Amino acid sequence: MYSPIQPMHIPDGFLSTLVSIVFWAISAGAVAYALRRVGKDLGERQVPLMGVLAAAIFAGQMLNFSVTGGTSGHLLGAALATILLGPWAAVIVLTSVVSIQAFLFQDGGLLALGANLFNMAVVGVTVSYFVHTSVQKLARGKSWGVFVGGFAAAWLSIVIASLACALELALSGTSPANIAVPAMGGIHMLIGLGEGLITVGALAFLYAARRDLLHLGKAAPKGGAAIWTFGLGIAALLAVLSPLASAHPDGLEWVAEQKGFLETARAPLYNLIPDYVFPGISNEALATIVAGIIGMLIVFGVALGVAYLRRNKKA
């Protein structure tokens, strides 16, 4: 079996349908826009270049190293992809990696894919871009800017993506914010160190072997200022929201309470029916038992059908 499920890939069932759909819409928009921009940057060679690099990131994610006896650190690759390919291509590349992980290995759900893409391909890349370009500007072109920027970009991209993840869980009412945010954030501050170190290692290798691949001193891509601001905005928003959300245990319910939604919750239909059809068994339990019986009949029916057909084929 492929590697164990990674902590930032949210499976299906954990996000409310509303949250899933909203983030699908946001991610779809971001990816569509990135697709258009990549065409202008890379031109004809975009398909082979991004495709093979996506495979490299995927394969790179399988390289791991043990941090302590049991746990291991490994690479997400958002920062590395951003530094090597620029933000637009990195969004597409990460989208491919995360999508294929979901489709082939169930590493992250299909409905939740929108949110996962948002966290890793959008937030991860924009934060990486913002941090790396800022640090490089600070370093004024000196080589330490590449490595410090790389480490910072990698670490922050992981941490902030995990905060987005925690907030999505909280908004869905699956995990109270005051636990999810510190837990996710805390774990990923540690995981982020591994990401940072691997990123620096990779940058060091490439700096020595093919410096030209590192986009150094290259003029900022068109719209660079926009991404830079967007990245800053995202980071700031999440940084501010997270402690706020932590103070309010059950994100959605807190919001609901404020707006008085809870008062207007409809009474479920079955309460209109007398509570006990059979003495001692509630309607709900009865319905569940009936469903169980129907379900078993369906399953046995199919199993018998399959077995019968197989025997017939052998005959």
Partner 1 sequence: MHVHFLDPYRPRTSPVHAADARLKFVLVVAFILTTSLTPVAAWPVYVLLFALVLSVEILSGLGVGFVLKRASLALPFVLAALPVIFTVEGKTLFSFPLGSWTLTASAEGLARFVSVALKSWLSVQAAILLASSTPFPKLLQAMRAVGIPRLLVAMFGLMWRYLFVLVDEALRLMRARAARSGQSGEAGHRPALSVAKGSGGSVAWRARVTGGMAGNLFLRAFERSDRIYMAMLARGYDGEVRALPLTPMNGAAWGILMAGLALFGLLLSFGVLFWG
Q: Is 261 in the site for partner 1 (CB under 8 A)?
A: no
Which residues are CB-contacts of 110 (< 8 A; sequence separation ≥ 6)? 12, 102, 103
The answer to whether 26 touches 118, Cβ cutoff 8 Å, is yes
Residue placing its CB nearer to partner 1 in the complex, 183 or 237: 183
Q: Is 4 in the site for partner 1 (CB under 8 A)?
A: yes
Distance CA 227, CA 71 (A): 34
Q: Which helix (H) or strand (E) holds 72?
A: strand 72-74
Residue placing its CB nearer to partner 1 in the complex, 58 or 221: 58
Q: What is the largest CA-CA distance in the chain?
A: 81
Q: Is 50 in the site for partner 1 (CB under 8 A)?
A: yes
Q: Is 16 in the site for partner 1 (CB under 8 A)?
A: yes
Q: Of the listed pieces 98-106, 117-125, 128-136, 231-239, which binds partner 1 according to CB under 8 A?
A: 98-106
Interaction residues for partner 1, span 56-75 (CB under 8 A): 56, 58-60, 62-70, 72-73, 75
Please classify residue 106 by burial: count the beta carbons closer than 10 Å to its beta carbon, then call 0-12 exposed, 13-18 middle and 19+ buried.
Answer: middle
In the bound complex, what is the minimum distance in angstroms from residue 176's beta carbon to partner 1? 5
Interaction residues for partner 1, span 28-47 (CB under 8 A): 31-32, 35, 39, 43-47
Q: Is 315 in the site for partner 1 (CB under 8 A)?
A: no
Cα 120 to Cα 27, 88, 175, 181, 278, distances in angstroms:
10, 13, 20, 17, 52
Interaction residues for partner 1, span 181-220 (CB under 8 A): 183, 194, 197-206, 209-210, 213
Q: Is 10 in the site for partner 1 (CB under 8 A)?
A: yes
DSSP 214: G
Distance CA 42, CA 91 (A): 14
Q: Is 116 in the site for partner 1 (CB under 8 A)?
A: no
In the bound complex, what is the minimum distance in angstroms from residue 225's beta carbon to partner 1? 26
Residue 128 token pair? 């990486």
Q: Is 97 in the site for partner 1 (CB under 8 A)?
A: yes
Distance CA 192, CA 152 (A): 9
Residue placing its CB nearer to partner 1 in the complex, 51 or 141: 51
Among 137, 261, 282, 284, binds partner 1 (CB under 8 A): 284
In the bound complex, what is the minimum distance in angstroms from residue 144's beta carbon to partner 1? 16
Please classify residue 265 by burial: count the beta carbons closer than 10 Å to its beta carbon, then call 0-12 exposed, 13-18 middle and 19+ buried.
Answer: exposed
Among 140, 259, 269, 315, binds partner 1 (CB under 8 A): 269
Distance CA 254, CA 47 (A): 46
Interaction residues for partner 1, span 123-182 (CB under 8 A): 169, 173-176, 179-180
In the bound complex, what is the minimum distance in angstroms from residue 222's beta carbon to partner 1? 19
Residue 161 token pair? 């993506």
Q: Of the listed pieces 118-126, 223-231, 232-240, 281-289, which binds partner 1 according to CB under 8 A?
A: 281-289
Q: Is 49 in the site for partner 1 (CB under 8 A)?
A: yes
In the bound complex, what is the minimum distance in angstroms from residue 255's beta carbon to partner 1? 15
Interface with partner 1: number of residues (CB under 8 A): 107
Q: Is 294 in the site for partner 1 (CB under 8 A)?
A: yes
The answer to whether 225 touches 130, Cβ cutoff 8 Å, is no
Cα 63 to Cα 128, 179, 193, distances in angstroms:
21, 31, 15
